Amino acid sequence: MRTAPHLLTLVALSGVSALSMNVFLPSLPGMARDFGVDYGFMQLSVSAYIGATAVLQLLGGPISDRYGRRPVVIWGLVIFLLATIGTLLAANATVFLMFRMLQSVVSVCILVPRAVIRDLYDGDRAASMLGYVTMGMAVVPMMAPVFGGVLDEWFGWQANFAVMGLLGLGVLILSWRDMGETVRGGGMPMRQQMRNYPILARSQRFWGYCLAATLASGAFFAYLGGAPFVGDQVFGLTPAQVGYWFAAPSIGYLLGNFLSGRYSARFGLNRMILWGALVCLLALVVALVIDLLGMLVPLAFFGAIAVMGFGNGMVLPNANAGLMGVRPELAGTASGLGGALAVGGGAALSALAGALLQPGSGAGPLLVIMCASAVGSLAAILWVMRREAQLGAG
């Protein structure tokens, strides 16, 4: 199949991957109780999953550059479906985590749509299209925790994984019918890719965009690892209530993606990243100050996270377009490497948040981690802009 996939297919692929990451988050405290383990162990289903995702994106990018986008997507979804069945049949937490790690193969459904967009569009136009794709994708993580919290209260946490499987099957059927191949000429041989890697690795622009994306998304991943604990232990929320509040960053992300789709081609990648990074940092600093004053309430905490999501919606599509534009023929590899760094850093921050959040700790440790990550993202894009200014002056 050589027909380019429809936008809806790319959104669905990204959405099912996002769904698998966060639909069950409101259930984490209850799952820990059901399996008879502490929260830190159960939280590995988030942080270790993110770590496995990093490795798989690192491998999936070059494979998609060599063998094409379509086979990577199809096989990824098939394995995801089998792993989802395993999570439903798991008799203990260890077996559950094994199948949960295998579910992470669905992460190729995030990197491939980005590479497809770069196959079809260039520069600021690619950033604009990525904004629209991720805007549509944002609807899924916005609604998934709400839906997951309700399912947990009605049917138990297993219902969330059953829904994952059904939606994964639907996206597999859609992809089989519509996912045309956008890699031309049979793909780039691995040996040739290896020769081009040093050029990519030596690019300061590539690493600057990678760091901007990694640290911006790192704040969000830290939130994923710590917010269920904050909702349950700090604010005393039910799983359904945690799910409702979990929509906050996705609402912001949706709006930020819309601005990226609308204005990236006009203002350029770097300005959009800079403005988004500033918004993220400001929101998180305000939340931290409120917490230090002892006035933190759910509206203040999750409201700040919504604004952070808005900033990330401006940072991530533009940073991803930037890193893939350094070597367009290695779009899949760049997307995979960038994604691996983003989720790898996110896994570390998510695990750190889970380790530092203990009974009585409050939300402070989580907010400090997120603020530090936002500072790093801002510094990265300033580095890129300074480097480009120096090259322009030269």
**pLDDT per residue rounded down to tens, the chain (394 residues):** 457 778 788 888 888 887 887 788 777 878 888 888 877 778 778 778 877 877 787 777 778 877 788 888 999 999 999 999 998 988 888 899 889 989 988 888 887 887 788 777 766 666 667 776 766 666 666 677 777 778 888 888 888 889 889 999 999 999 998 888 777 665 666 666 666 667 777 778 888 998 998 888 888 878 877 877 788 777 888 777 777 787 777 788 888 878 887 788 788 888 999 999 999 999 999 999 998 888 888 888 889 999 998 999 899 888 888 877 777 666 666 766 777 777 777 767 777 777 777 776 778 888 998 999 999 999 999 998 888 777 765 5
Cβ(291)–Cβ(305) under 8 Å?
no
Distance from the Cα of residue 93 to its chain's centroid? 24
Contacts of 132 (CB under 8 A, 6+ apart): 7, 257, 261
pLDDT number for residue 146 = 73
Tokens 């359904």 correspond to 240
pLDDT number for residue 79 = 94
Distance from the Cα of residue 391 to its chain's centroid? 32
The helix (run of H) or strand (run of E) holding residue 73 is: helix 69-89
Indicate the SS3 state at residue 183.
coil
Taking the model in full, what pTM does it have?
Answer: 0.68
Cβ(73)–Cβ(175) under 8 Å?
yes
pLDDT number for residue 127 = 67
pLDDT number for residue 331 = 65
The tokens for 178 are 């519509």
Q: Does residue 38 come out as left (phi exceeding 0), alpha (psi in the -120 to 50 range) or beta?
A: beta
pLDDT number for residue 274 = 94
pLDDT number for residue 29 = 79
Spatial CA neighbour of 203 closest among 18, 75, 3, 387: 387
pLDDT number for residue 387 = 81
Q: Which CATH superfamily is domain 7-179+189-393 in?
A: MFS general substrate transporter like domains (1.20.1250.20)
Tokens 């690493």 correspond to 207
